Amino acid sequence: MNLNNVLRQFTIALCLLHVNVHCANSWSLEHLASDKKLAASGSYNNPELARKMETVFQHLKNSWCSQEKAKLIMEIIIFERLTMCVEVGTFMGSSALPILVSLEYLKNGHAYLIDAWSNQEAVKGLSPDDQNAIWWSTLDMNAIKNHLLHMLGHWHLDSYCTVIHETSEQAVSHVDSIDFLHLDGNFSKDGAHLDSKLYVPKVRSGGYILLSNVLVTANQEPTKMKALWPLFETCDIVSEIENGNVLLFRKK
């Protein structure tokens, strides 16, 4: 594909995304489908919750999970009581932490944390000269997984999750009737699309899907755009954060 085609595709994709995202506002408690009173005017009735959230935000400073994203994850899981959670792409657990602390706060629920922790899988579908491929191919994936396991032990969160060391395609048979799905796996066009195609149908009606790194590009192509189609077909867009880089959907 020549550069003009790439740029044209990129512009079309961004325009389409903009039209859809334009309908979604930045995350606020107004977007909750239930329990709005619990979280009236942005203040929490339970001071323990505010304290817990602050501890998570402090831990996640300079991590892959922004405070904005951690807050959204915790509010949606806690206030909507989303107890069956699945994350595709756990890496060292930055976004898994707010998921698990929310389940611990609810004293109910379970999260399936899926990652291949494999350099080969992470670069699959990316061209070898792409910056993402170069970065993903040099990581020590064992050390990254160990970091996650250490974090789970340190926060006493092991009983709230199952760590699945498989590709997203292999792991899909383990999960069903998902309340909250975080799609944050493969960066390639086909890989991200496959995750969306495999996992979005597993989310129950009324359940939520958070798609991360929406604006990532590989060789100047916005590779997560194709992953949006299964979502736009079956879900309503609820909210966006990080200037459209993270989108929240609700299954119809």
Ligand X SMILES: C[S@@+](CC[C@H](N)C(=O)[O-])C[C@H]1O[C@@H](n2cnc3c(N)ncnc32)[C@H](O)[C@@H]1O
- Residues binding ligand X (CB under 6 A): 64-65, 89-92, 94-95, 114-117, 121-122, 167-168, 184-186, 191, 213
Place of tokens 């990080």: 242
Find the length of the chain.
252
In the bound complex, what is the minimum distance in angstroms from residue 191's beta carbon to ligand X? Answer: 6
For ligand X, the closer of residues 75 and 184 by Cβ is 184
2 vs 138 by CB, closer to ligand X: 138
Q: Is residue 155 a contact partner of residue 100, using CB atoms and an 8 Å limit? A: yes
Give the sign of the dihedral formed by CA 73, CA 74, CA 77, CA 80. Answer: negative
The nearer residue to ligand X, 44 or 226, going by C-beta atoms, is: 226
- Alpha-carbon gap, residue 61 to 99, rounded angstroms: 16
Nearest-CB residue for ligand X? 89
For residue 81, the minimal CB distance to ligand X (Å) is 22
Q: How far is the CB of 142 from ligand X (least distance, A)?
A: 12
Smallest gap, in angstroms, from Cβ of residue 162 to ligand X? 15
Alpha-helix residue ranges (DSSP H) falling in 30-140: 47-59, 67-80, 96-106, 119-123, 131-137
DSSP track, 199-213:
HGGGEEEEEEEEE--
| Paired tokens of 149 | 């396991």
Shortest Cβ 229–ligand X spacing (Å): 19
Least separation in angstroms between CB 114 and ligand X: 6
The values of phi and psi at residue 179, to 5°, are -90, -40
Query: Which one, 39 or 148, has the nearer CB to ligand X?
Result: 148
- Shorter beta-carbon distance to ligand X: residue 80 or 121: 121
Judged by beta carbon, residue 109 or residue 191, the one nearer ligand X is 191
Handedness of CA 130, 137, 226, 67 (dihedral sign): negative
How open is the CA angle 218-208-150, to the nearest 5 degrees? Answer: 70
Tell me the two tokens of residue 129.
């000269």
